[in-house]
Structure 1
């Protein structure tokens, strides 16, 4: 038998080097792309102190509102073309400061009295329109804030209708 005495062919190291070089180039391209995108969007490069200093004073802190419900509805009569009609309104008060709601709770008898007077002075036809209800909400807010201001307390943000019935 004839033996193959020829030396084995050396392994092709050129292909392995080519594959490693391509992987390194692709990883570098991705890294540069991410860094460039961050830089163009104004975020700065990661670890750079400039972007962190600029972003912190720009955003104000979020303050969640608190609410209280008036337990009993406001019920009163309203005028409608010479006839008496009834209005029943369930209200909630909104404020970012819980101290304002605590003050409103403390002065609730005075606030309810003033709110019933404002509601009683309303016109029936106006209360049937969305614009009239919006105007009434603004009047009720002004009334509540006026009472709280007279008592030296912080003001509330909004008066919300939970239920609104006129008949």
Structure 2
């Protein structure tokens, strides 16, 4: 397991304990699902002649383990959403840390909206980028 994944897991575990203590004995039952293979797509460079590409490893935090099968069933929709959102981003946003966070939040909201429309519930609690590479 890579250092970054261990760090993310440790932070999530710590947050789970903190949230559980503050809210009583509520059991947190999150699940994680990776969009495999990595999302690889083009984005528009500073001029229309030049394209860049981005490669992102995306992990989804699912609200409940029982919703994991539902999320897996809708994986083509979730992947298509990620590819579309990354493909529509300008170069400045793809390359900046604040832009990356904006993309993550946009992706989360879009996935939640799609899942709510398809299943009646958001299913996806959070989106985590574990690898983020770009080239212009």
TM-score exceeds 0.5:
yes
Residue in structure 1 matched with residue 107 of structure 2 by the alignment: 140
Residue in structure 2 matched with residue 43 of structure 1 by the alignment: none
Deviation at 1:96, TM superposition (A): 3.0
Residue in structure 2 matched with residue 108 of structure 1 by the alignment: 75
Deviation at 1:65, TM superposition (A): 2.1
Kindly report the root-mean-square deviation, in angstroms, between the aligned alpha carbons of the 2 structures. Answer: 1.8
Matched residue SS, 1:122: coil
Instruction: Tell me, yes or no, if the aligned pair for 1:93 and 1:101 is still in contact at 8 Å.
Output: no
In 1: Cα distance, 2:115 partner to 2:45 partner: 31
Paired residue for 2:39, among 71, 74, 80? Answer: 74
Paired residue for 1:165, among 130, 133, 136? Answer: 133
**Mapping of residues 12-91 of structure 1, within 5 Å:** 59-82=24-47, 83-91=50-58
Instruction: Tell me, yes or no, if the aligned pair for 2:29 and 2:65 is still in contact at 8 Å.
Output: no
Paired residues in the alignment total 111
Q: What's the CA shift string for 1:49-75, capped at 9, x where partnerless?
A: xxxxxxxxx625241421111120111
**Which consecutive unaligned segments of at least 5 residues does structure 1 have?**
1-57
Residue in structure 1 matched with residue 10 of structure 2 by the alignment: none
Which structure has the higher relative contact order (CA within 8 Å, separation 6+)?
A: 2
Instruction: Name the CA shift for 1:96/1:149 in 2 (closer, same or farther; >3 Å).
Output: closer
Q: Give TM-score, length-normalised by structure 2.
A: 0.74
In 2: Cα distance, 1:62 partner to 1:99 partner: 14
Q: Give TM-score, length-normalised by structure 1.
A: 0.61
